[in-house]
Amino acid sequence: MIATAEQMRAAENAAFRDGVTPSGLMEIAGEGIARLIQQYFSESSTLVVFCGKGNNGGDAVVVARHLEARGWSVLIRLSVPVDEMVPLTRHHLESLKRPEYISSIPPVFTPLVILDGLLGIGALGSPKGVVADQIMEMNLLRKESGGFTVAVDLPSGLDATTGEVFTPCVQADLTVTVGAVKSGLVADTATPFVGRIALVSLPGLSLAEGDLASVITPSQLRHLLPIRGFDTFKGSYGRIGILAGSSGYLGAARLASSASVHAGAGLVTLYALPESYEILAVSCIPEVMVRQIETYGDVLNEKMDVLALGPGLGSAYHEELRSLVRDVASPCVVDADALNAVSADSSLLSDCAGLRLLTPHPGEMERLFPQIGRTRRDWATEFVTCYPVTLLLKGARTIIAEQGYPPVFNSTGNPGMGSGGMGDVLTGVTAAMIGGGHTPRDAAMLGAWICGRAAEIAIFNDQDSQESLAATSVIRHLGEAFSSLRKADC
């Protein structure tokens, strides 16, 4: 559930009436944020805390205390003198063992984490005075020193309810929101300032009312990945058919089929026309069966639990692709050139023979269903109101929508995913999830989260950077992403 600032304050007040203490919530919040930071930075680093006078600053100082105990170097940048802070924040500052208060940022030679603890959900309007100066200092430090900025609850300068971005506003790489996701964090305007979203839940706090939409969290997905039974076999995890790749675009077929194998598919068959068959047969990973077909329509006679179609197919076979999207009885993941084919007659989506998961990027979505000034959320929800399909609208804040369900926002990923082939990987992963028995909606949530998490792991736990990250790196880290879902908080 997503909450406005007012709904969040009401939930906190109700919790306090039931005996929950502000100090208890602050301790849980700070410890949770520290744990999440360590999932990105496994080795001790330098933490620069920009500390406001309110409880948001107190949360940040608790984070600092936990990381200090794990060997981190902690630098504190105060926005007001200590004696002007609220008592809880002042108390936590005094509990630090070796704080170093700074008036300017010294040279930092270790990985740098910048912690924004300046403003909370009660802040209104544009930041002023010292707070505004420190927001600009944070952003400059991030830019010039390559720091990784973590916002406590929300970036300072962002309206918690509307997502309006004031000047200045912290540009965060990770926003760890506390108790519930604030509605402003998922506004289209907020995405460049919020970055990755993670949630620290607070026991004893529940929302009496709020938006039924949600942001995907590991706790929401974990039950969808039970430990496999010892007596299962390849037939237990589905026959996945993939129709992808044409002359000049064979990489799309290789990526989608490889991703499907590494996402747990039982049997993966890649269908290829005669002109593509030989090269795909020798270039795909050995776990993929490559089968020659004479026309795309031949797959109608194939036995499969799911068909993924579209990546790299080109524009020469649109009529055949439209027929497949309409007539295949198995569930289908419809991507790329299959989406472009459907855009010429999207009415066929109203009468498909089986379940359909559509995975457009914004350009493909525009051809299917023009945005016409809608927010991304409204764009997605109105589309599934018109057509009985599941939609995964890709982008910096991927949205999954299906008629009869509240929309869901993905939380994982990073800017390094802005390169060719990422959509092909997602197609293969979601197809594997459907083949394993998941509904298209659950498959979309799992696929989006897992692919984004694999991209994060590639950068933070391996040797990739945002510039070097490639779709093959995401496939290589899918296993760690699945493991992360089972045991991590982020």
Task: Tell which residue, 49, 40, 20, 3, has the closest CA to residue 179.
Answer: 3
Are both 10 and 65 inside the same structural domain? yes
Q: Which of 218-227, 249-258, 335-344, 397-406 has the lowest mean pLDDT?
A: 218-227
Which domain CATH number covers 23? 3.40.50.10260
Which domain CATH number covers 305? 3.40.1190.20
Are both 342 and 463 inside the same structural domain? yes
Residue with tokens 């309006």: 164
Q: What percent of the chain has pLDDT over 70?
A: 100
Are both 42 and 99 inside the same structural domain? yes
Query: Domain of 423?
Result: 223-487
The pair of three-digit structure tokens given for residue 8, joined into one six-digit string: 């969040």
Q: Could you tell me how far CA 437 lies from the centroid of its own chain?
A: 23
Are both 198 and 245 inside the same structural domain? no
CA geometry: angle at 172 spanning 87 and 444, to 5°?
115
Are both 70 and 199 inside the same structural domain? yes
pLDDT exceeds cutoff 80 at 108: no
Are both 205 and 235 inside the same structural domain? no
Q: How far is 366 from 372, CA to CA, in rounded Å? A: 9
Are both 158 and 300 inside the same structural domain? no
Are both 165 and 87 inside the same structural domain? yes
Are both 180 and 230 inside the same structural domain? no
Domain closes at, from 176, 211, 246: 211
Position 466 in a domain: yes
Q: Which amino acid is at 396?
A: A
Domain closes at, from 187, 211, 235: 211
Domain closes at, from 211, 237, 256: 211
Q: How far is 194 from 396, CA to CA, in rounded Å? A: 11
Per-residue buried b or exposed e for 337-372, using 16+ beta carbons within 10 Å of the residue's own CB: bbbbbbbeebebbeebeebbbbbbbeebbeebbeee
Q: How far is 294 from 309, CA to CA, in rounded Å? A: 16
pLDDT at 142: 94
Position 26 in a domain: yes
What's the structural domain count of the chain? 2
- For 45-57, what is the mean pLDDT? 95
pLDDT at 395: 94
Q: Which of 202-211, 246-255, 477-486 has the lowest mean pLDDT?
A: 202-211
Position 474 in a domain: yes
What pTM, to 2 d.p., does this model score? 0.96
Position 218 in a domain: no
The confidence band for 461, taking pLDDT boundaries of 50, 70 and 90, is confident
Taking only the tens place, the pLDDT of each residue in 353-375 is 999 999 999 999 999 999 999 99
pLDDT at 247: 87
Are both 280 and 202 inside the same structural domain? no
Are both 246 and 376 inside the same structural domain? yes
Q: Which of 97-106, 277-286, 372-381, 420-429 has the lowest mean pLDDT?
A: 97-106
The confidence band for 280, taking pLDDT boundaries of 50, 70 and 90, is very high
Are both 238 and 193 inside the same structural domain? no
The confidence band for 446, taking pLDDT boundaries of 50, 70 and 90, is very high
Q: What DSSP state is assigned to residue 207? A: -
